[in-house]
Chains A and B, each alone.
Chain A
Amino acid sequence: MSEDTHLEALRGEVRAWLDANAPKTWREDYKAMNHAEFADAQRTWFRTLVEGGYAAPHWPAGLALGSGRSLAEQKVIYEEMARADTPRLLLSFVSTYHAASTFLECGTEEQKARYLPAILQGETWCQGFSEPNAGSDLASLKCKAERQTRDGREVYVVNGQKVWSTMAQYADKCLLLVRTSSEGVKQAGITFLLMDMKAKGVTVRPIEQIQGDEEFCEMFLDEVEIPVTDRVGAENAGWAVSQATLSSERGLTLMELTYKMRGALARIAELIRKNGLEEDRGVLRDYGQLVTRCDEACAIADQFLQNRIDGIERVGDASVVKNTYSRVLREYSLLGTRLGGIDEQYRAPIVYGDLTTGNWMADFMNSYAWTIAGGSEEVQRNILSERMLEMPREPKNWVL
């Protein structure tokens, strides 16, 4: 079978499976739900995807049903998900991307064997990276861990605070960055730990976002004991591990998101029709420009993945993809908000689901998460100008 025939066959399979299994009324359903019901709905959709073999197509072969897909196959799957307009997996996102890639790239055999299958069985991970005074400047984190022997066990005792942890209120486990040393450069004393969210001393407080969702949380850690065996990589070598965690989201995630955004252009077409603006040239121009911008975002995400596969990824490439996606997402949700008129200004119930909720004002507000989270747009600009364009760094002569 040629590559093309094979991919078209896969497309048919995925489409048929989605027709039979994808939730159809999720937009309406989600609007009527409280936060806990939303989490349940997400777990159900994830379980369905696991059974269908589409939950972790990006994992290496042999790890799960449907894993080990080629890049081209993954693309087909994402395109079909976008076409079928399925809900995004907010709850299991950190688990299948960040946690999985951490274990795969840096975990011990034991950690892989313990945690990867558990993810597919529904064990949910969150991320404890950011802190109140270390957002985009992650290397400045202060949450402290001390190695001690307690009741005959070797543990890290952790004290500190974390913030912006997505869906932490529903998580079973946490990818945690802590400071174990203050010597040397600030990246050097960081250690990567795996924390049980039910451990004594962990307090989670959801933070209400500007659109009323509780997508992220702050966490207070008070004398939390974490076994030394639940460390990834060496002590004080957590910075490199965290880079493996974060780099996982830049390729595949953004490809999935850009294709979803491209597919969701249909929602703006609906709005244009609903408002009888099919012949409004100004609106058509804005829509046409947005379509091209979405195509652009897809193209740069594709190119990024291809470069990664070919081993020719350059420093800054990921920043280009992220800044493109986040800007196009802003343009997309802004046009929707504009065309939606006053309706979009009436407050909706909680509307989880990132760019495709269909509540334009909520999507517009949520788009800021992409220009701020995961390294703000400004931090990406620094990376781009200093690493890619080789412009000089600002002198470090600033004193408090």
Chain B
Amino acid sequence: MIERAELHDAAQKAFPADQLRPDRKASWDLIAEMGWLLLPLPEDAGGLGLGRDAAAAIHFELGKVLSTAPLLTALLTVQALAAADDLPDQAGWIERLTAGELVTVNLLPADLELTDSGSIRLSGTLPCTLDADLASHTLVVTGDLAVLVPLDGEGVALAERRLWDESRRLFDVTLTNHTVAPELVVARGAKVQTLVAHLESNLQLALAADSLGGATAALDMTVEYLKTRKQFDRPLAMFQSLKHRCADLKVQVSAAEALLWKRAADENASSVDFGALKARASDVYRIVAEEAIQLHGGIGLTEEHPINLFMKRAMLNLQLGGSLDTWRELAGRQALEQYAA
């Protein structure tokens, strides 16, 4: 775990806690410079060969500062393409991606229509495609096919959907009879399911790490506020009713974080396990953010004070990659199977 500790340190230095929502372009340049795009790649592909927990450590730290950079999608797709040996010019893609070209992906399932009459054509909408304005392509998975779609290609339209959470940018990518180029096929058949499971697990882990980084920062900010704000001739932090609420939040954040690192290191964890982790982590984020605003009092309701930014991102994280209810249900089903009579 030495490597992980070093990554936390490096990320905290690059993105200090007092600068929330750092500039998107400057962040992206800094991220490339730090070599974080190489983290999950195997060493023989020029990467650092680190485990899932390394990427999670970076997402955790970037979650603390409500990062605006497209690292979440970048790490997801670079990992996916590194695992996809059907892709012609795989090496070229990896080289370009680690140098800063971005391939994005939709973070909620798409409803696509596929026709194959010699050439494959796709129609439909890819919802919640993150950072599509910065990306050259998006990774599309449908049935037993995974392909790259150029975002400036024919039959491709982007529409930004403005969010309450302005630290992230989501787009609807609409495909109208878009013809897939054979050299952009990433995987076919059974390999697609492996790719999807991989992508799903990494997405859920990234969102969980982002959530708990954010929850940690929001709780820290709240405790600091209570220590400085005085009412009734005392700092608010001296009132037991408020202290106990902060203690309860600390317990929840700590326990969820322990699960995050344990699961990140667990090679046998299923994508449902990661989804359940994300559900819990984003729920803890929501609980902390809710309490944080309340504990800040009137100032917590203002746009001027940054605590509201955490709440907006927490609520978005609850939805991205599938909802709380979805993952809880799947986790329940999985456990029922595990304890089959």
Using a CB–CB cutoff of 8 Å, the interface residues on chain A facing chain B are 265-266, 269-270, 272-273, 278, 281, 283-289, 291-293, 295-300, 302-303, 319-320, 323-324, 327, 378, 380-382, 384-386, 388-395
B188: interface (CB < 8 Å): no
Contacts of A392 in B (CB 8 A): 227, 235, 237-238
Whole-angstrom distance between the alpha carbons of A388 and B247 in the complex? 9
Complex CA distance for A287 and B335, rounded to whole angstroms: 8
Q: Which of B223, B254, B332, B334 contacts A391 (CB 8 A)?
A: B223
Which residue of chain B has its CB nearest to the CB of A327? B251
Residues in chain B near residue A281, CB distance under 8 A? 325, 329
- With A and B bound together, what is the CA distance between A298 and B261 in angstroms? 12
B105 at the interface (CB under 8 A from A): no
Q: When A296-B256, A378-B244, A381-B247 are in contact, do A288 and B262 touch as well, CB less than 8 Å?
A: no
A380 to B250 alpha-carbon distance, docked (Å): 12
Interface residues of B in 247-291 (CB under 8 A from A): 247-248, 250-251, 254-256, 258-259, 261-263, 276-277, 279-280
26 pairs across A/B with beta carbons < 8 Å? A266-B339, A269-B336, A273-B336, A284-B332, A285-B329, A286-B332, A288-B327, A288-B333, A288-B334, A295-B263, A299-B258, A299-B259, A320-B250, A320-B251, A323-B248, A327-B251, A378-B244, A382-B244, A384-B251, A385-B247, A386-B243, A389-B247, A389-B250, A391-B243, A392-B235, A394-B239
Q: Return chain B residues, CB-CB under 8 Å to A303.
A: 258, 261-262
Which of B238, B255, B279, B327 interacts with A320 by CB under 8 Å?
B255
Bound CA–CA A235/B272 (angstroms): 57
Tell me the smallest distance from the CB of A269 to a CB of chain B, in Å: 4
Number of A-B residue pairs having CB atoms within 8 Å of each other in the complex: 144
**Is A320 in contact with B246, judged by CB distance below 8 angstroms?**
no
- From the candidates B259, B330, B339, name the one contacting A296 in the complex (CB within 8 A): B259
Chain A: minimal CB distance from B321 (Å): 15
In the bound complex, residues from chain B placing their C-beta under 8 Å from that of A394 are 238-240
Please tell me if B192 contacts chain A, counting CB pairs below 8 Å: no
B163 CB → nearest A CB, Å: 26
Q: How far is the CA of A113 from the CA of B80 in the complex (A)?
A: 61
Cβ–Cβ contact B237 & A295, under 8 A: no
Residues from chain A with Cβ under 8 Å of B328 in the complex: 284-286, 288-289, 292
Query: Are A381 and B254 neighbours in the complex by a CB distance under 8 Å?
Result: no
Rounded to whole angstroms, the CA-CA distance of A321 and B248 in the bound complex is: 12
CA distance A296 to B262 in the complex (A): 9
Give Cα A313–Cα B100 distance, bound, in whole angstroms. 41
B190 at the A interface (CB under 8 A): no
**Could you tell me the distance in whole angstroms from the C-beta of A282 to the nearest C-beta in chain B?**
9
- Nearest chain B CB to A165's CB is how many angstroms away? 28
**With a CB–CB cut-off of 8 A, which chain B residues contact A327?**
251
Known contacts being A385-B244, A391-B246, is A288 close to B259, with CB within 8 Å? no
Q: Is the CB of A381 within 8 A of B243?
A: yes
Q: Give chain A residues whose Cβ lies under 8 Å from the Cβ of B329.
A: 281, 284-285, 288
